[in-house]
Amino acid sequence: MVWRRQKFLQGLICLAFAFPQTPLAAETSYVDIGQLAARCEAKLKYSDEGDCAKIDAGKFEIQCRLNSALYKIGGTNVYGQWPVAGQRGSLRIAREDWERVIVPLLSPFPAQQLRRICIDPGHGGKDCGARTQRTNLEEKQLTLDVAKRLQKLLQKRGIDAILTRTSDCYIPLENRPAVANRSKCDMFVCIHFNAADSPNAEGMETYIVPHQGAASTARLQSPSTGDKKFCINNRHNERNLCLAHCIQRELSSLKSSKDRGVKRGRFTVLENANCPAVLVECGFMTGLQESRRIGNWDHRQAIAAALCDGICSYGAGRK
Ligand SMILES: [Zn+2]
C-alpha cells in the first residue's frame, strides 16, 4: 500500500511537468484525467454516462464531474477554482486545481505543534448575526456557546485555547485576527452559523482564503481586482487547505449533516491571520430542520466535538 501511494504521489507531481497543456479557457490550462490516472498507476472509472470520473489509488479516491468545480477527495467535498472540462468519457482537470487542491490533499504533511489556538465566536454586541425564525435565537449567542464548548474540549486534550470574546460584546472584524497574532496562536478558527433566503438550504461548510489572484468560490473563475492582492494569510495556503479538509470531514460526518464542502472566500477575519485559519459555517439558522437541531445543546456539543477532532487530526499530520 505504501509503495502504491508513493507511486501515486510521484505520478501526481510528475504530471504537472510531463504533459502538454491543452488550453480550454483563456486563463488556465487543463490535463487529461486518463493520463493522470495512468501515470499514477491508479484505476480510472467513468460513470455509464461518462460525465463523472473516479480515480482510485487504493487508499485515495478523487471524484469529479464534467462542468463542476466540486471534487470529492478522500470522501470530503472540496471546491476547485475551475469546472472540470473536456467531454463525456474524456474529462480534463485544471492544472491550478490539481496543483493547489489535489496534490496538497494527497501529499503527506508533518505533525503540527498546537500549543495555543484562537477561537473566534462570530458577531457579538450590536452585531447579532442571523436569527432562527421560530425560536428567535441569535447567531452571536450560538457561536459563543460552541466556542466555549470547543475551548473546554481542546483544553482537555492539553491545548491552550483562547477566545476573541467571552461575553456578548462587539469586536470589529480586524481586531479578531489581531488577538490570534498577538498571542502567537498556531491556528485561528472562526465560528459562524449560516443564513439563506431558501428555507431548504442546509449543511456545513468550511472557508479558507483563496490564493493570490484566485476568485472566491461564489464567483469561481471570475477573479475581481481585489483578488490580485496578497494577504498575510496567503503564507499558509497549503496548511489552510489541510486544516479545512480535516475539519470539514468531521463536520460532514455529523448525523443529518450535508457536506457543502471546503470553499474559498476573502473574509477580513481570515486574510489578516498570521497562522492557518478557517471560518466554519456550522449549519443554516434559516433551514427548517437544521434550525431546530442548532437550537439543541447536544447538537452544538456534537459540532464542538467535530471541530476538536478535525483540529487534532490536522495536528497529527498525515503520513
Ligand atoms: Zn455569521
Whole-number Å distance, alpha carbon 130 to ligand 1 midpoint, is: 7
Secondary structure (H, E, C), the chain:
CHHHHHHHHHHHHHHHHHCCCEEEECCEEEEEHHHHHHHCCCEEEECCCCCEEEEEECCEEEEEEECCCEEEECCEEEECCCCEEEECCEEEEEHHHHHHHHHHHHCCECCCCCCEEEEEECCECCECCCECCCCCCEHHHHHHHHHHHHHHHHHHCCCEEEECCCCCCCCCCCHHHHHHHHCCCCEEEEEEEECCCCCCCCCEEEEECCCCCCCCCCCCCCCCHHHHCCCHHHHHHHHHHHHHHHHHHHHHCCCCCCEEEEEECCCHHHHCCCCCEEEEEEEECCCHHHHHHHCCHHHHHHHHHHHHHHHHHHHHCEC
Q: How far is the CA of 290 from the centre of ligand 1 (A)?
A: 16
C-alpha span between 147 and 141 (Å, rounded) = 10
For the chain, domains (ranges, CATH) are 2-106 (3.30.457.10), 116-316 (3.40.630.40)
Which pLDDT value is given to residue 293?
A: 93
Residue type, 79: Y
Give the Å distance between the CA of 154 and the centre of ligand 1. Answer: 22
* Residue-level pLDDT at 167: 98
Question: 165 to each of 10, 82, 125, how far by Cα in Å?
Answer: 45, 37, 10
User: Three cell numbers at 191?
Assistant: 465560528
pLDDT of residue 12: 61
pLDDT of the residue at 17: 45
The crossing angle, in degrees rounded to 10, of helices 139-156 and 297-316 is 50
Tell which residue, 318, 319, 315, has the closest CA to residue 154.
315
Q: In the prediction, which pLDDT does 214 show? A: 87
**Residue 256 Cα, ligand 1 centroid: separation in angstroms?**
21
The C-alpha angle with vertex 251 and arms to 245 and 256, in degrees rounded to 5, equals 140
Q: Residue 291 Cα, ligand 1 centroid: separation in angstroms?
A: 14
Cα(279) to centroid(ligand 1), Å: 9
pLDDT at site 262 = 98
The whole-number pLDDT of residue 124 equals 98
From first to last of the 319 residues of the chain, give the pLDDT tens digit: 444 556 666 666 555 544 444 444 446 789 999 988 887 788 999 999 999 999 987 777 999 999 999 999 999 999 999 999 998 889 999 999 988 999 899 888 899 999 999 999 999 999 999 998 778 899 999 999 999 999 999 999 999 999 999 999 999 999 999 999 999 999 999 999 999 998 899 999 999 999 998 888 887 666 677 778 899 999 999 999 999 999 999 999 998 789 999 999 999 999 999 999 999 999 999 988 899 999 999 999 999 999 999 999 999 998 8
214 CA distance to ligand 1 middle (Å): 23
- Model-level pTM? 0.91
Q: State in Å: Cα 122 to ligand 1 middle.
A: 6
CA of 301 to the centre of ligand 1 (A): 18
Q: Are 278 and 270 in contact (CB under 8 A)?
A: yes
**How far apart are the CA of 139 and the centre of ligand 1, in A?**
7
